[in-house]
Amino acid sequence: MVVAAAICAGEKVLAAARSYPPEMAGQWEFPGGKVEPGETETEALRRECREELGVEIEVGERFGGDLSTTGGRFLVRVYLARILSGEPEAREHADLRWLAADDLDSVPWLPGNRLMIDDIRELLAG
């Protein structure tokens, strides 16, 4: 199980460029990571955002359905989130960008995250 955060601020969402593994480097995703044994999905998402971005987040509602990634190896669940404290920094990613609805197609998304882009665009457009 992998959880990801659609971190929204105003009319933008935070996107992160993978730096590894090599086959995924340079592709974009919503920040997050694997749920560890004994963690809830929201606990894992808060931990991952603290480790990867240096921010504390408030996790909101699940957004969309379950996604499959890396040939069905992982199940991904996306949650809406907002930053409570800190300024995002690319600690484990190659780059971070705040993207408006019109900018969502400006980066190459990982296939599993790409499935959410139209829904995120509608959310941001309000």
DSSP string, 55-81: -EEEEEEE-SS-EEETTTTEEEEEEEE
Cβ-based neighbour number of residue 56 at 10 Å: 12
Least confident of 53-62, 88-97, 106-115: 106-115
Contact call for residues 54 and 92 (beta carbons, < 8 A): no
Give the CATH number, domain containing residue 13. 3.90.79.10
Among 90, 17, 18, smallest CA distance to 54 is for: 90
Spatial separation of the C-alpha atoms in residues 112 and 34, rounded to whole Å: 14
Query: What percent of the chain stands above pLDDT 90?
Result: 80
Query: Per-residue confidence at 66, pLDDT binned at 50, 70, 90?
Result: confident
Place of tokens 């995703």: 29
Confidence class for position 70, pLDDT limits 50, 70, 90: low
Q: Name the band, by pLDDT with cuts 50, 70 and 90, for residue 120.
A: very high
Domain total for the chain?
1
Strand partners, 121: none
What is the rounded distance in angstroms from the CA atom of residue 6 to the CA atom of residue 45? Answer: 11
Spell out where 1-63 has E strands. 2-9, 12-17, 28-29, 32-34, 56-62
> Quick one: pLDDT at residue 85?
98
Mean per-residue pLDDT over the chain, rounded: 94
- Contacts of 60 by beta carbon, 8 Å cutoff, 6+ apart: 79, 80, 81, 82
The pLDDT value given to residue 115: 87
User: Residue 47: which domain range?
Assistant: 2-125
Average pLDDT on 97-118 reads 94
Positive/negative CA dihedral, 86, 109, 79, 18 = negative
